[in-house]
Amino acid sequence: MSKRDLLSLDPISAEEIEWLILRAKVYKKGGTLQPLKGYAVGLAFEKVSTRTRVSFEVAILRLGGHPIFLSFDDLQIKRGEPIADTARVLSGYLNGLVIRTYEHEKLLAWGASATVPVINGLTDRHHPCQALSDLFTIYERKKKLKGLKLAYIGDGNNVAHSLLEAGARVGMKVAVASPKGFGPDPEIVKSAEEMAKKHGGSVSVEEDPYWAVEEADIVYTDVWVSMGQEKEKQKREKRFKPYQINQTLLASARPDCLVMHCLPANRDEEITSDVMDGPRSIIFEQAENRLPMHQAILERWIGAQKDSK
């Protein structure tokens, strides 16, 4: 069996998402499967991380494997060694790689050169593991996904892209509201629209945040200034100010709506503290659920290689 990568949600089916959610549920309840026993998995990170690093390290340990953290600052990549050469060398030592980097093209280079499975821990274009964890959290709370409305308010970034792709595959109604010029990539929107039609969902992108949250079951946001965009901070804060998640905006959503944020959050900027700590917020539950979902992902993409040999 040839190796399989998780670079984005593009090749993943609704059936596979269902499997991942059910498997994550098993792990959250204390499932002790160890599909990575005897395996070493590298975490090569160019971007700093709290949740992604710790959840993946613990997930690998719980699955019987050994995580090896590799900062780009400590690799020869920093001195100019090509990604292709590094990927081929690490493939000789490891059974899988989790990559967290900036440009998505760098991740594609890792995938093309590594002979072991590569999992996207985050790029500027996609954050698939986050979106899969979010679907798991929503399913646990709402007991379904199909037909629910998810309103994403803010920057049309990597998280927005993966939520569009994920929601479309499970028949959700995904509404994105961003300031003009800051919306999600049109190609990703178009692809998500086509996928949503197949599964009975919908995708819509507008500028009005009140339109997006109307009757929403889930209201989701992210930081206005992502890593690498610090020079745009003042410009972005001014443009995104009307997109803050606060009590006034939430009044347009359903009374039982859930509030989500992938973290880290800038309190009282993209989301007010009273909302973040309020009864509708499942933000910290959402963060916790990354661990069992990452266990499911690691089993599916890396553990499956073991079973096929």
- Which residues carry out catalysis? 100, 127, 130, 222, 262, 290
Calculate ∠ Cα 134-136-141, nearest 5°: 95
In Å, how far are 6, 87, 245, 265 from 271, measured between CA atoms?
Answer: 30, 39, 5, 8
Distance (Å, whole) CA 265 – CA 273? 10
DSSP summary character for residue 184? P
Q: Do 293 and 133 meet the contact criterion of CB atoms below 8 Å apart?
A: yes
**Number of separate helices (H) and strands (E) present in the chain:** 14, 9
User: What SS3 class is residue 120?
Assistant: strand
Distance (Å, whole) CA 7 – CA 99? 9
